[in-house]
A and B are shown apart, each in its own frame.
Chain A
């Protein structure tokens, strides 16, 4: 059930966003167990099936990193450093544990730092392969079953197929609702702003999945009432990058005179556009989704066909969003020290530009201190789009 008082849709999302993790803390006080996790590659279905509420750990762009550096090198992705810093400062002290997938070096290489420094009762690293071939899928399934057994031991109960199937169903419903929300962005002007979407999705990964689905549904209904009253802006932009768990950058774009109508971000399309298939062994469906369906630069896709076809294989989902959401320009918003996305920039840029869509590549540091510089770049990009 979504927060009483102060609105059930956008206003509730605002509250969960501003006081991130408040609902998890509240549930913890009521006896619910909460499992923190990093990254869209954590199979939240398994966590939920074990009876825990999964809580995605987010950082805080407004909070200077003051404690993390005593344990973690500054060459780590600034988002991960911020997440760790706020964790050290007690933001997530109610967690029963943490789950970290092998997503990228910044996450994986800091696993021990998280584990030993924060000393949660439970921790687990899921050793996800990079490749997507059949042996990799089989291996990943075995890893997921190791995680399933490990978490079951900690939970004090085996995770049954039935509870997994139920968790899969609930998360798929949630994803379907997000896709419905994204439909509202296809209109011109979009019925919902990019900042509102990001705020809502960040809120959604901080509350139980059924509540999140209800919250998103409420927002969809609320927004539909708006009709076409919002002013049109000249440019429709798409933002592509890693984890963007604050609205400031999106707001900056929209304050500069454009709509953010599509994304390849998490939380965002990357995380919500693919479902877990209904398979006799539920772990098969989970393995397939996380290894093969989520389109992220950390995953190595085996090439089929020409290099041009390979780019389509890797970035086709971006191309489809450009087409479906009628995107005029794309902003590649990549954090400093992000190896998976950083190495993709030239290929991704040339792929998008081959569609006739201009690209702005920005490297950022997950801090409000850079916002002035970003504003200048965005304004220049919008001028470029306006002159086309």
Chain B
């Protein structure tokens, strides 16, 4: 039985910052909180990251169970294969999003047993009371995963929040359409509040919501300011650590804990900068993680880069915030918290549009790469193409091609594997490609001397 396979052993990754090292226990506690909530009968919602509803869920005292997170944990613990195989045996193709497959395999198994699958990582994923999907301009699984999960938990209702943002077009400015985007999102969020009140018995505390919206703005600003500190040479923190510190960004937003975490990280980075303490002792190459979710089972690859003197001062992945004071709208003047959330959403996704329009042939995603290359003094770009996710992993090649065309040729590497499915990963091959990339960086550097 594939379901009885034991997970492979996985060594703990060494982090550069103390803050990043605290993330593991925080996530473990988060999962335990959900299990405890189940025992206490508190309402639990299956939730996705970056769906605008963090403040809403927390203001209503509903416990979020972040399903992508749990799949990532299974992946990081190298214990996802049995859940992927279970999903496959249900009829789901292995080419689909492996976060979703892992979650669906887990749900199917848990429902069949009436209890957690044996040795479920960190105690398992609790059965939800509601599931909050989302229809965005990206990520079909957010629209399909929970609908598919209903096949195993048919009594659990789903709400799909429509969360579009204006596309970047040549023949009109997004400001021409932003009002109806915001109006729609506000209506969808209002519908979500009504749905949650109906299905959980919890009432929205609107004052609490306003407080959390304000806390989220402040947290966004603090995160942005903290990450900007990584411009320092040597850089005090890399993407390997950022794949830990993404936890408070996407799973703990609208909590004091997230704010406090970044306050602490901010102080730690300032201290490191003052002492010229870098991610590695001898920083040789400054790289950008320019796209793609990481292979959660292979985060040690970041340490391998480090061993070659390569550091990652910046990444586009999970940098899902901007400083709200840089938006062309004063969010503090919007009194309706739902409208506030909607405007923040639209302004985040359109943040790079104006800048892109100023450079012929540019595009917001490419413009962002250019800005980071300049701000963080980047020597090369590394991306990761996860085979099972079209959302974040389509357009990477094109972005690099465009970058070369409208800006300059910069060494780049696209690694290939997956977010969860370890069978797609070959460590020897990956490391050989990293070695070759380092050689290229060295050659370029030598030429420039």
- List residues of A whose CB falls within 8 A of some B CB: 70-73, 75-76, 102, 104-106, 108-113, 116-117, 122-125, 127, 129-131, 133, 135-136, 138-139, 142-143, 146, 150, 153-154, 297-298, 300, 302-303, 306-307, 310, 334, 336-337, 339-340, 342-347, 349-350, 361, 363
* A355 to B155 CA separation, bound complex (whole angstroms): 22
Q: Which residues of B contact A310 (CB under 8 A)?
A: 150
Smallest Cβ distance from A204 to chain B, in angstroms?
Answer: 28
A129 near B390: Cβ-Cβ < 8 Å: no
Residue of A nearest to B108 (CB): A346
Q: Which residues of B contact A127 (CB under 8 A)?
A: 137, 164, 166-167
B172 near A109: Cβ-Cβ < 8 Å: no
Once A139-B162, A298-B140 are accepted as A-B contacts, the answer to whether A336 and B95 lie under 8 Å apart by CB is yes
Residue of A nearest to B391 (CB): A105
| Stretch with Cβ within 8 A of A (4 or more), from B180-188, B234-242, B255-263 | B180-188
Once A142-B180, A300-B133, A342-B93 are accepted as A-B contacts, the answer to whether A130 and B169 lie under 8 Å apart by CB is no
Among B148, B160, B169, B170, which residue has its beta carbon within 8 angstroms of that of A346? B148
A139 near B180: Cβ-Cβ < 8 Å: yes
Smallest Cβ distance from B398 to chain A, in angstroms?
Answer: 5
A342 near B92: Cβ-Cβ < 8 Å: yes
* A361 to B91 CA separation, bound complex (whole angstroms): 8
Residue of A nearest to B135 (CB): A130
B144 near A139: Cβ-Cβ < 8 Å: no
Q: Which residues of B contact A142 (CB under 8 A)?
A: 177, 180, 184
B147 near A300: Cβ-Cβ < 8 Å: yes
Once A76-B390, A116-B398 are accepted as A-B contacts, the answer to whether A130 and B92 lie under 8 Å apart by CB is no
B96 close to chain A: CB less than 8 A: yes
Once A105-B140, A127-B166 are accepted as A-B contacts, the answer to whether A136 and B184 lie under 8 Å apart by CB is yes
Smallest Cβ distance from A118 to chain B, in angstroms?
Answer: 12
Residue of A nearest to B361 (CB): A116
Among A146, A298, A337, A346, which residue has its beta carbon within 8 angstroms of that of B390? A337
Once A116-B398, A139-B184 are accepted as A-B contacts, the answer to whether A363 and B93 lie under 8 Å apart by CB is yes
B100 close to chain A: CB less than 8 A: yes
A300 near B91: Cβ-Cβ < 8 Å: no
B448 close to chain A: CB less than 8 A: no
* A310 to B96 CA separation, bound complex (whole angstroms): 23
What are the interface flags for B127-154 relative to A under an 8 Å C-beta threshold, 1 for contact and 0 otherwise?
Answer: 0000001010111110111011011001
B172 near A146: Cβ-Cβ < 8 Å: yes
Residue of A nearest to B145 (CB): A343
Smallest Cβ distance from B447 to chain A, in angstroms?
Answer: 26
B29 close to chain A: CB less than 8 A: no
A-B contact pairs, 25 of them (CB 8 A): A70-B401, A75-B390, A108-B138, A112-B363, A112-B398, A116-B398, A127-B164, A129-B184, A135-B162, A135-B188, A136-B135, A139-B164, A139-B181, A150-B169, A300-B160, A306-B154, A307-B154, A334-B93, A336-B95, A344-B144, A346-B91, A346-B148, A347-B151, A349-B91, A361-B91
B24 close to chain A: CB less than 8 A: no
B396 close to chain A: CB less than 8 A: yes
B164 near A105: Cβ-Cβ < 8 Å: no
Residue of A nearest to B170 (CB): A123
* A14 to B289 CA separation, bound complex (whole angstroms): 50
B167 near A73: Cβ-Cβ < 8 Å: no
* A74 to B169 CA separation, bound complex (whole angstroms): 25
List the 4 closest A-B pairs by CB distance, nearest first: A130-B135, A307-B154, A343-B144, A135-B187
Number of interface residues of B (CB under 8 A): 62
Known: A125-B169, A146-B176, A345-B93. 15 other contacts (CB 8 A): A73-B397, A105-B138, A105-B394, A129-B162, A130-B143, A135-B191, A136-B188, A139-B164, A154-B171, A300-B143, A336-B93, A340-B143, A343-B96, A346-B91, A347-B147
A110 near B92: Cβ-Cβ < 8 Å: no
What are the interface flags for B353-388 relative to A under an 8 Å C-beta threshold, 1 for contact and 0 otherwise?
Answer: 000000001010100000000000000000001011
Residue of B nearest to A345 (CB): B91
A125 near B148: Cβ-Cβ < 8 Å: no
Q: Which residues of B contact A123 (CB under 8 A)?
A: 169-170
* A111 to B151 CA separation, bound complex (whole angstroms): 32
Q: Which residues of A contact B402 (CB under 8 A)?
A: 116
Residue of A nearest to B187 (CB): A135
Q: Which residues of A contact B169 (CB under 8 A)?
A: 123-125, 150
* A53 to B171 CA separation, bound complex (whole angstroms): 21
Smallest Cβ distance from B343 to chain A, in angstroms?
Answer: 16
B415 close to chain A: CB less than 8 A: no
Residue of A nearest to B87 (CB): A346
What are the interface flags for B28-53 relative to A under an 8 Å C-beta threshold, 1 for contact and 0 otherwise?
Answer: 00000000000000000000000000
Residue of B nearest to A110 (CB): B394
* A349 to B92 CA separation, bound complex (whole angstroms): 11
Among B137, B145, B170, B398, which residue has its beta carbon within 8 angstroms of that of A108? B137
A72 near B394: Cβ-Cβ < 8 Å: yes
A109 near B395: Cβ-Cβ < 8 Å: yes
Residue of B nearest to A151 (CB): B171
Q: Which residues of A contact B60 (CB under 8 A)?
A: none
B157 close to chain A: CB less than 8 A: yes
A102 near B91: Cβ-Cβ < 8 Å: no
B394 near A106: Cβ-Cβ < 8 Å: yes
B208 close to chain A: CB less than 8 A: no
Q: Which B residues, 396 to 435, have Cβ-Cβ distances below 8 Å to chain A?
A: 396-398, 401-402
B264 close to chain A: CB less than 8 A: no
Q: Which residues of B contact A350 (CB under 8 A)?
A: 151
Q: Which residues of B contact A72 (CB under 8 A)?
A: 394, 397-398
